[in-house]
Amino acid sequence: MADEPKGLKKPVKLQSELASMLGATELPRTEITKKLWDYIKENKLQTKTENGAPENAGKYIVADATLLPIFKKTKSTSKSGKLTDLTGLQEGQTINMMQMAAVVGANIEK
């Protein structure tokens, strides 16, 4: 019998906005992150400056109409106590790529 996938490779249930964007109801976290990055790169939604114009490179991700509802679900405190609150984000504003783990965590069923 095969071992059950564990940790980041274990499939998790996606909340509705993320599920409809990715076309799946369950995916491992690794696959969610990869698919989000594929979308970001395909749509050239990276920028080198905070709230800068998309320029297809850089550590900031520009929230477009598709990503905005997914990003806006994010309000979490990391183990180190840092709050990530994207609930007031507007279309065209950016998040730091380091916030992607919090975004993924906010869009899966607990």
pLDDT value at 97 more than 60 = yes
Burial of 105 (0-12, 13-18, 19+ CB in 10 A): middle
Q: Which residue has the tokens 């690794």?
A: 30
Average pLDDT of the chain to the nearest whole number = 93
Domain positions in the chain? 8-106
**In the prediction, which pLDDT does 107 show?**
97
Q: Which residue has the higher pLDDT, 63 or 82?
A: 63
Give the residue among 48, 49, 42, 30 at the shortest CA–CA distance from 67: 42
Q: C-alpha dihedral over 91, 96, 101, 105, to 10 degrees?
A: -30
**What's this model's pTM, rounded to 2 decimal places?**
0.89
Instruction: State pLDDT tens for residues 39-79.
Output: 999 999 999 999 998 888 899 999 999 999 999 999 998 88
Task: Domain 8-106: give its CATH architecture.
Answer: Orthogonal Bundle (1.10)
